[in-house]
Chain A
Amino acid sequence: MSALTAIRARRERSVERPPGGLGRTPVSYAVLVILGLFAFLPVLVLLFNSLKTSLELGTNPLGPPSSLDFSNFVEAWTRGSMARGLGNSAILVAGTILGTWLCAGSAAYALARLDLPFKRGVETYLFVIISLPVQMFIVPLFFLWVRLGLINTLFGLIVIYVALNTPFSVLLLRTFLVGIPRELDEAARLDGANELQVATRVILPLSWPGFLTVGLVSGLGAYSELMFAVTFLLDPAQMPGATSFLQFSQGFTQLYNLVNAAGVIIVLPLIILFLLMQRRFIAGLATGGTKG
């Protein structure tokens, strides 16, 4: 309860933040427009060029297309085996999210609300693990995966992603679970709810924003991750969208209309998702944001 009011108070304060002062805003807007163009124009060129014919690309390399030609998308979809790539991405993302929810959710529940021995030890372990660079373990992990037959499998990559996402997710979810007042589950138990019902009917509905953030960060990571994907998946049939796009772009250099169309297809789900749930995205990435 007190946590909720604190959050609300902070939100109100940020709405009432000091106005810029009238004389100063034109400069601010000028700088912001320049920065905004720097950030966005390149993305716009990606979109423009994906709609051009090869002929137009030569005469009009960066401007808007003279007509909307969607044939690049059809060609990129088939020649880039994008159905397969995005299908693999979907499996990776879903597996990573579910695995992280399961591992991190149950561990956070134990840390926050159960009588776990060596609590401090587990927490210290998590903090150490979070600050370990992947280079510290990627070499032995690769050869371990070879021996276990997990190399070149989506399942093997999902296990790695789950392991990478779990530590920070546990710490994030724990703060959500600790904030839920104990009187609530005690009341539910008095009404005759069993442990499972307490967890799913009382705790989960109150901590879903935490789970959503964790799912968003780990799913986004699984969709975009590069180093483990290019190292652990060598068979094109197993590659997710991003890495098979990389292969495609290296096979068709300078066919910017075709390759850019494939690129637009890859980022479309991200953009839509982002525009739908902007605030949570930004909060989530700021929490898990250690990606270089």
Chain B
Amino acid sequence: MTQLLASASVESVAPGAVPTPPRRGRLRRRGRLIAIAFVLPALAVNLLVIGGPTVSSIIYSFTDWNGITVPEFVGLDNWVRLLGDDTFWNALGHNFIYLLIFLTAPMAMGLVGAFMLSRIRRGAALFRVLFFIPYLLVSVINAQIWRNLLDPELGIASVLRGMGIHWLDDVYFFADKDLALYSVAFVDNWHFWGFLVVLFLAAMQGIDASQYEAARIDGANAWQEFRHVVLPGIRPTLTFALTIIAIGALLVYDYPFILTAGGPAGSSDVASLLVNRTAFVSREAGYASTMALALSLLGGVFLIFFNILRRREEEN
């Protein structure tokens, strides 16, 4: 503040002159106007894209609206419909399966990968790059890689067949309604876990070296060291990882969209796909807003839950 005043006075007031109180007030106002002007572009873009549509989304969730004509207020009709909508609950159920998968496989792989990386010296940088590449690649390419590998005629199945193993003959990973959801989650996991390695590794490197030494003097083996030094040491990062996994699983869109589009017969449908289909294909924008709002509220519940978890940790 004082420095801004100083700079303004360099321009407008002769050096050494003491500004009178009203003049100081005007300068202060000018400084504030400049500051507001600096924030204006960011604020305008945000209100246009995020703030405004968020508020109207809440309003539209109580209307019957096709996106073009004037919305018609219908009270709680959309919410009542949502409660009895099997398509929605089917999709949301898949989000929770997705969540369970992501809370286990990538978490375990990320923790193991990071712990092993923290224990070696030579080659650590190389492994880190290898693990990270799938996270870096574009989702459409990752999907293409696994469409190729899991192709019943031109993928792993045909290599096994050449070796006389017929386990994967006629297994259509993305077209079988019992496998589609898990196959999609698998590809998404393959893309994601390397990010957790990098995240956990950074946290593990922040643990005080004396704690490791103390554990070693006590004769701890690798598992005990992991259990009693590493896990407690990276707890805030674990909570952070759980948060982004929970939100990510609730809102997942990319891999189901690319690989199965929710099919076959809704067996890999997820909530975000359904929201966009309802809004942009069926043109039921009002009802889609209701779905989206329900989804966002659930996401909010997750955020609050993990926030409480984090606070409790900080208190300990």
Contact = CB atoms under 8 A, between A and B. Distances in A.
Interface of A: 10, 13-14, 16-21, 24-25, 27-29, 31-32, 35-36, 38-40, 42-43, 45-46, 49, 57-58, 61-62, 99, 102-104, 106-107, 109-111, 113-117, 122, 129, 131-144, 146, 159-160, 162-164, 166-167, 170, 182, 185-186, 189, 194-195, 198, 223-224, 226-227, 230-231, 242-243, 245-246, 249, 253-254, 256, 259-260, 263, 266-267, 270-271, 274-275, 278, 281-282, 285-286, 289-292
A281 B125 CA distance: 14
B38 A129 contact: no
Contact count band on B: 35 or more
A114 B36 CA distance: 9
Nearest to A19: B121
Interface string B235-262: 0000000001001111111100110000
A35 B131 contact: yes
B74 interface: no
Nearest to B275: A135
Looking at chain B's contact residues, the main secondary structure is helix
B253 A226 contact: yes
B146 interface: yes
Contacts of A13: 209
A104 B216 CA distance: 47
A173 B146 CA distance: 38
Contacts of B126: 36
Given A45-B148, A163-B45, A142 B4 contact: no
Contact of A115 (B32, B275, B285): B32
B46 A140 contact: no
Interface stretch (B16-24, B83-91, B132-140, B165-173): B132-140
B224 interface: no
B292 A138 contact: yes
Given A32-B117, A163-B50, A254-B151, A106 B159 contact: no
A103 B68 contact: no
B39 A116 contact: yes
B257 A139 contact: no
A18 B141 contact: no
Contact of B50 (A132, A246, A263, A290): A132
B137 A114 contact: no
Nearest to A58: B154
B203 to A, nearest CB: 10
Contacts of B3: 182, 185-186, 189
Interface in B238-297: 244, 247-254, 257-258, 271-272, 275-276, 279-280, 285, 288-289, 292-293, 295-296
13 contacts: A17-B118, A27-B222, A39-B190, A46-B141, A133-B247, A135-B271, A137-B53, A139-B288, A140-B56, A140-B57, A140-B285, A226-B258, A286-B202
Interface string B1-43: 1011011001100000000000000001001101110110111
A62 B149 contact: yes
B199 interface: yes
Contact of B248 (A49, A61, A290): A290
A61 B155 contact: yes
A141 B248 CA distance: 21
Contacts of A42: 134, 145-146, 149, 190
